[in-house]
Amino acid sequence: MKLAHIADPHLGIRQYHRQTSAGINQREADIAQAFRAAIDGVIAARPDAVVVAGDLFHSVRPSNSAIVFAFRQFQRLRDALPSAPIVLIAGNHDTPRSVETGSILRLFEELNVDVATIDHYIDAEVATGKVDTRRIYVTGWSNGAAMGFLYGLNRTGIAAAAVYTAPNPFEAFNDPCPQTPVSRRARSDGEIRLTNKRLPVYHVHNACDIAGICPNGELLLSQLLTIRVRFTDLIINDDETPAMPNVCDAACGTNPDADVNFADNPEGYTRGSQNHTRWPKSQTQGMLDFFRAHGGHARWRPISQP
């Protein structure tokens, strides 16, 4: 049996003040390049199994760019070695300190929810000739909704996004590297450029939501309105009716970054959790109507890589 072993990549680490010409921290870029080369080596060796033995990321809550980069590399690995088990082991840097925080490595369990895979899937469907390339939409729930925001706001071929109860993908849960979305070129690591700010988005979320993420959703709203994203925000009550007025329930948290610990927001972690884990069936028709009302401003163009 041939085993490939990688340890301590520490993706997302940022040190010193030197930047690349693209505005990326030089240390982070060097680490990413080394990890890409390691994946190339593993693919060339064609092992029977792959083990990443600790600290894939440098922190419990890595930056969005580090997460997307890791997904792309593991998707390359999975495409090249479809039958080889890939084992990820948390290290001291990316192991959460509380049960409520959860492990970032859970995102990799299926290895099919990343940007590269969505590109591949859409390209495959478009290739059948049965898709209206001006009406390709994205939706999602919870973390999948956050991914829907990120994906749609960076793909000009997406006509609209309608999602349910998304945490802010740019800043949530004491993110050590929050980023401000901008429509121009990013000037620092604290900014992230969105290339599809014309995307119409519809966010349905709960006035009382898990960990108090309703105010976090309103932070996302303010960030995207600043760069003139067409954002429709609908806050709903426990019974799925629209909140009147359209505001969060303060009893379930007021922290715009959301609450990491149960003790900081017991109402959000109890009543809010119940709301978060049920789909608002009464709002489904409104989300579908939102899609129907928005044809794309650009046709989808194949972009996935082999």
Positions in the chain whose pLDDT score sits under 50: 98-100, 112-114, 304-306
Tokens for 96, please give them: 């959460």
d(CA 88, CA 6): 10
pTM flag (> 0.75): no
For 2-34, b where at least 16 C-beta lie within 10 A, e where not — what string? eebebeebbbbbbeeeebeeeebbebbeebbee
Phi and psi angles of residue 133, each rounded to the nearest 5 degrees, phi first: -70, -5
- pLDDT tens digit sequence for 181-230: 998 888 887 888 888 888 999 999 999 999 999 999 999 999 999 999 99
Q: What is the pLDDT of residue 276?
A: 95
d(CA 302, CA 154): 14
Q: What is the pLDDT of residue 106?
A: 63
For 221-259, b where at least 16 C-beta lie within 10 A, e where not — what string? bebbeeeebebebbbbeeeeeebeeeebbeebbebbbbb
Q: What is the pLDDT of residue 117?
A: 59
Q: What is the pLDDT of residue 99?
A: 44
Q: Which domains does the chain have, with CATH numbers?
A: 3-108 (3.60.21.10), 127-292 (no CATH)
**Could you write out the DSSP letters of every residue in 87-155?**
EEE--TTTS-SSTTT--GGGGGSSS-SSHHHHHHHHHHHHHTT-S-TT--EEEEETHHHHHHHHHHTT-
Q: What is the pLDDT of residue 108?
A: 67
Handedness of CA 173, 61, 107, 145 (dihedral sign): positive
Entry field: residues in the chain: 306
Q: What is the dihedral of CA 67, 69, 73, 79, to 10 degrees?
A: 80
